Chain A
Amino acid sequence: MMTGYLLVVYVHLLAAVLWVGYILFWALILRRPSRGLDALRSAIFIRLLHRTPWPPTSLPVPYRVRFPGLGWGALAVLGATGLFMLYAQGGIAQRPIARELLFSPYGRTLSVKLIMVVALAACQLVLIKKPTQRWAHLGLIATVFIIALSALLARGG
């Protein structure tokens, strides 16, 4: 059981590393369209970039890059492993979850983390529909907060 739990924690960490790389990529890459093109054209280019099948010959060369399912995939792995870790720690199964989330320091930190995770998923949703530097930066800020909150939780809240 312990080995399985540690393996899940490890997968959670690796998915988080990949997610940070993904959101950092968008935050960096969107600098170029934001500077070189007007907002509408850059949004159209990057939107096409997600929609066009490979090879996307209708796009300017620098924008021909797609990561189908990677962002959502990493988030799904993070969610599933995170829920398993909560379950294994007895956070869901053995305690009244609402009371725990409202009244204990650990629960309050966890609640804020879960809210930030929902905000991150919202950023990801908007980033796919309308990729702009602002949404990539918001996703990056949410990621920073989630990592900080995770450090707090690892210390017991």
Chain B
Amino acid sequence: MDWYLLSVVLHLLAAFFWLGHMFFWSLVVGPITKRFDPPDAGRWLRQTSMRYGGLGWPALIILIGTGAIMLMYRGVTMEQFISGQFFLTPSGRGLGMKFVLVAWMILYQLVVGHKPAPRLIYVNMAAALVIVGISMLLLRAPHVFGPHGIGLP
């Protein structure tokens, strides 16, 4: 059994389902239900959305758990992580940026969670978009986080 591959697959599935649900309901279903007349008409759809808004916590737990396993398989030790040595490498810098944004998303999940947040949800979605971009760059072009790329000097 390739545990690393299993972690990658679970990581991707959790990310796609969580973000897919968040983006589709916020950008597509939400604006449509706001056009309903009378306004109560969209309540059933929104209630359905809230019921499945609980996707956030399980997805976050899977993402953090599988992310930790993937780092371990890539040879990142706890000592390197705590001492900050890991964050001096190009991949470490990129991952550091990703962690800051993930921390924001956890904070959002803690403070806002399932409650309606008309403006903050867009900040959360922007953070998610950047996380997807950073993850892609970490896989395809980690050098961009180097001293001459977009990483910290």
- Residues on B with beta carbons closer than 8 Å to the beta carbon of A67: 28
- Residues on A with beta carbons closer than 8 Å to the beta carbon of B28: 21-22, 67, 70
Q: Does B126 contact A (CB under 8 A)?
A: no
Report which of A14, A62, A65, A148 forms a contact with B29, defined as CB distance below 8 A: A65
Which secondary structure dominates where chain A touches chain B? helix
Q: Does B81 contact A (CB under 8 A)?
A: no
Instruction: Count contacts on B: residues with CB < 8 A to the other chain.
Output: 34
Contacting pair B24 A21 (CB below 8 A): yes
Q: Does B54 contact A (CB under 8 A)?
A: no
- Residues on B with beta carbons closer than 8 Å to the beta carbon of A25: 24-25, 29
Contacting pair B9 A21 (CB below 8 A): no
Q: Does A20 contact B (CB under 8 A)?
A: yes
Complex CA gap A150/B5 in Å reads: 11
Closest to A16 in B: B16
Interface residues of B in 99-153 (CB under 8 A from A): 129, 132-133, 136-137, 139-141
Q: Knowing A61-B41, A64-B41, say if A21 contacts B23 (CB, 8 Å).
A: yes
* Category for how many chain A residues contact B: 20 to 34
Contacting pair A13 B136 (CB below 8 A): yes
Which secondary structure dominates where chain B touches chain A? helix
Contacting pair B36 A20 (CB below 8 A): no
A8 to chain B, nearest CB (A): 11
- Residues on B with beta carbons closer than 8 Å to the beta carbon of A72: none
Complex CA gap A47/B51 in Å reads: 25
Contacting pair B9 A148 (CB below 8 A): yes
Report which of A2, A55, A144 forms a contact with B141, defined as CB distance below 8 A: A2
- Residues on A with beta carbons closer than 8 Å to the beta carbon of B5: 151-152, 155
Contacting pair B141 A6 (CB below 8 A): yes
Interface residues of B, Cβ cutoff 8 Å to A: 5, 8-9, 12-13, 16-17, 19-25, 28-29, 32-33, 35-37, 41, 44-45, 48, 52, 129, 132-133, 136-137, 139-141
